[in-house]
Structure 1
Amino acid sequence: MTHWKTQFNYKWLGAYCLPDGKDIILTIKEMKREEVVGTSGKKELLLVAYFHEAVKPMVVNKTNCKALEKLFKTPIIEDWSGKQMQVGASRVDAFGDKVDALRVRPFLPKVGEDVRPTIETGSAVWNSSIDYLKSGNDLNAIMRKYKLTKEQIKTLQQYEVK
């Protein structure tokens, strides 16, 4: 399913960026303060995390900073570089409403754990994957993003343009 926010060019990582709403594991490249323009046009200096993975940078609020401090056992943001965290969405009260917000999970990701979401055969994501392959794209790109069964891989290989 397609989140409406994916139809706009937002600069920052948001809950809408999570594949099928599933947690992702990110490796911090660097943390730095920079000017962020809010939706109201207000400019603020905020902490932003940049990652080694090909994702948008993430504005890191106080709640997530506290989680990172506990997770990495240090309040020093320079010491967070190179460390991995698991990020997911949580429903929170903000801006006078309930919204989905990115939250750093309070545990270290398990090394080698495959956190890619699965695809249900026949689902919208499955059909999009078939269309993706039919337009000349590579099955490996889908396999990097989703966990597939051997049967699903065999079926999808039939749609690859050779």
Structure 2
Amino acid sequence: MNDTSKTHYRKAFDSPYLSSADIVEPTTLTVRRVTLEKDKTKKSKEQFNTAYFVEKEIRPGEPLKPMILNATNSKTMKALTGSAFIDDWNDVRITVYVDKNVRFGNESVEGLRISPKPPGRKQLTPSQKAQWESAKAAYKRDGNLEAVLARVDIGEDHQRQLIAECEPEREDEAS
């Protein structure tokens, strides 16, 4: 049995936030938004920077929880985005991993960290049907690939294919 199919002992504590129990390998996620909000566990009255993600599941059938951004992870977000303002941290791709040596008081514990390196960009191909259709819709809307290429990489051959797939439809619309 590998670690991805095992149950971490901390799952029993059912936190409303992403934790080291949820991450079994470095995981690339897309931050949808970050908000400053009160602790949902009600263990403190503090407010936290809380990241919500575009992805809905951490693994098939397992909902992805929001992540509290502690001071270390908030500083990493600032470095990745070039902005100290959480309002500017939307739509940022990050890699979350477990650091087994996070200092918590006098103890070393497992904690979530955001990698200071931006993750590799996704490579889009026609085999990724839903994303390919979204890219075509963006091309038709904008009349160019700029918005698409700002989010994903597409090889030159596939760029030509995407344009070719959209052009007949654009000509039909003009008729």
For the superposition of Structure 1 and Structure 2, which TM-score range results when normalised by the shorter chain? 0.5 to 0.7
**Considering only aligned residues, what root-mean-square deviation do their CA atoms show, in Å?**
1.7
Which of 26, 33, 36 lines up with 2:36 in the alignment?
33
CA drift of 1:5 comes to 1.1
Runs of 4+ in 1 over 3 A off after TM superposition: none
Which 5+ residue runs of structure 1 have no aligned equivalent?
Answer: 114-162
- Of 111, 115, 118, which aligns to 1:108? 118
Larger Rg: 2
Aligned to 1:13: 18
TM-score between both structures, scaled by the size of structure 2: 0.58
1:37/1:44 contact within 8 Å kept: no
Q: Quick one: distance in 2 between partners of 1:60 and 1:73?
A: 16
The structure with higher relative contact order (CA 8 Å, sep 6+) is: 1
- CA change 1:37–1:95 in 2 (3 A) is farther
Task: Identify the residue that residue 43 of structure 1 maps to in structure 2.
Answer: 45
Deviation at 1:38, TM superposition (A): 5.5
1:112 Cα deviation after fit: 2.6
1:106-136 deviation line (CA, Å, top 9, x unaligned) = 10000137xxxxxxxxxxxxxxxxxxxxxxx
- Alignment length (residue pairs): 110
Q: Report sequence identity in percent.
A: 28
Q: Give the AA of the match of 2:76.
A: A
- Give unmatched runs, 5+ long, in structure 2: 1-5, 57-63, 124-175
> Which one of the candidate residues 82, 86, 89 is aligned to 2:95?
86
